[in-house]
């Protein structure tokens, strides 16, 4: 009889402990990107790189001239991630656009194509 009571109490305790772990351990997620998106709207460009613990995401807002860098946490028990704001920076949108200009083949200095820039 006593063994049965101990067994029932142990099961009740373990079920309660499991419920608490699931409730608090896999609770809500943190995503700082949602706050930035709500405040400034969709970014002009999103750059992602890295992997695993080195993953990052950079959002560029060209009109305002600033960007945000985000990092993510290790996988949580539910399989998701938390996304944290790791930095904000200012930049010159014009300079950033110049870096994206493609140089035509004829202007690349290839003499066989008759470069307009000369030999």
Q: Whole-number mean pLDDT of the chain?
A: 76
Does 111 or 51 have the greater pLDDT score?
A: 51
For residue 68, the cross-strand partners are: 59, 88
**92 contact partners, CB below 8 Å, separation of at least 6:** 65
Q: Over pLDDT 90: what percentage of the chain?
A: 36
The beta strand positions in 65-110, using DSSP E, are 66-72, 83-90
pTM of the model as a whole: 0.59
Span 84-93, pLDDT tens digits: 999 999 988 8
């Amino acid at each position: 009889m006593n063994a049965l009571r101990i067994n029932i109490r142990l099961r009740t305790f373990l079920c309660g402990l499991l419920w608490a772990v699931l409730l608090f351990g896999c609770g809500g997620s943190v995503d700082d990107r949602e706050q930035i998106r709500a405040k400034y709207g969709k970014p002009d460009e999103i750059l992602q790189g890295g992997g695993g613990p080195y993953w990052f995401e950079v959002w560029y807002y060209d009109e305002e001239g600033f960007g945000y860098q985000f990092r993510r946490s290790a996988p949580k028990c539910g399989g998701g991630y938390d996304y944290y704001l790791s930095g904000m920076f200012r930049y010159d949108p014009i300079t950033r656009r110049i870096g994206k200009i493609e140089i035509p083949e004829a202007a690349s200095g290839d003499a066989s194509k008759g470069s307009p820039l000369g030999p």
